[in-house]
Amino acid sequence: MGNGFQQCNLLKEAEIHAELREFELNRRRQMGLSASHHSLDNIDFDNKEDDQHDQRLLSQFGIWFLVSLCTPSENTPTESLARLVSMVFQWFHSTAYMMDDEVGSLVEKLKPQFVTKWLKTVCDVRFDVMVMCLLPKPVEFARVGGYWDKSCNTVTQLKEGLNRILSLIPYNVISQPLWECFMPEWLEAIRTEVPDQQLKEFREVLSKMFDIELCPLPFSMEEMFGFISCRFSGYPASVQEQALLWLHVSIRPVAFYECPFHIEWFISCVKWTGCHDV
């Protein structure tokens, strides 16, 4: 498998296109123009006459190298595999709002055809590496691509990291066992490291992630909140308090009337566990 640097560099090519689109999106917001991702579809960011030079196509070669030369196994070095997995996660994020053209369609097809299968293999043989790369603060060698390559503050890192996870969800990359391993870490990081006045910046991503109707997670609402509900039964008060604070984090950025499912779930959870004094 090698160290994965070549594959990572090719996958990073998609970031250039994504950054140009994000820059234009922010510019349009400041000017009061339409700021949806689809409003950018007719803008030529590459200024290239030939799509062969499109950075997005270069990232395609990175995927082909990945699936053909980098088959994960139990013996794959952790550092090499983590670097590749993290870069693949970033590639999903960079291509999430790709221009709806021939190149964009081609790159999008790679995800279900090849990449999700590769990630499924990683999850089967090295579950620990998948979890490691989904944490808010992974080990140093797993901090690859996107916001890790920039000088970002903690709030930006957390927000971008959640958006990266959100870009994986439609492809069934996030299983329930993975979710219950990494999501407590995210809620705890937000609770302890994000100032109250900046919680509103997490409104959109948390709304999408925790709304059972908006978020296509491949498991039920009970399983989605299972890592919280399990802490109300047989655990000391300090653990139950922490679980309540996590629930508070997931609700607070969202208007009360937008999250009735949280309230309904919480009431049923308390009744089920018999924790009437919580």
pLDDT score, position 47: 45
Average pLDDT, consecutive stretches of 10 residues, N- to C-terminus, the chain (278 residues): 63 60 56 50 46 64 87 95 95 84 85 95 97 97 90 93 95 96 96 92 87 76 88 91 88 54 55 48
pTM: 0.80
pLDDT score, position 20: 54
pLDDT score, position 203: 87
The alpha carbon of residue 230 and the mean position of all alpha carbons in its chain are separated, in whole angstroms, by 24
Q: What angle do CA 135, 234, 136 make, to 5 degrees?
A: 10
Q: What 3-state class would DSSP assign to 214? A: coil
107, 56 Cβ separation under 8 angstroms: yes
pLDDT score, position 90: 93
Q: How far apart (Å, rounded) are the C-alpha atoms in residues 202 and 75?
A: 38
Query: Alpha carbon of 86 to those of 66, 111, 207: distances in Å?
Result: 13, 15, 24
Token pair recorded at residue 127:
């579950």
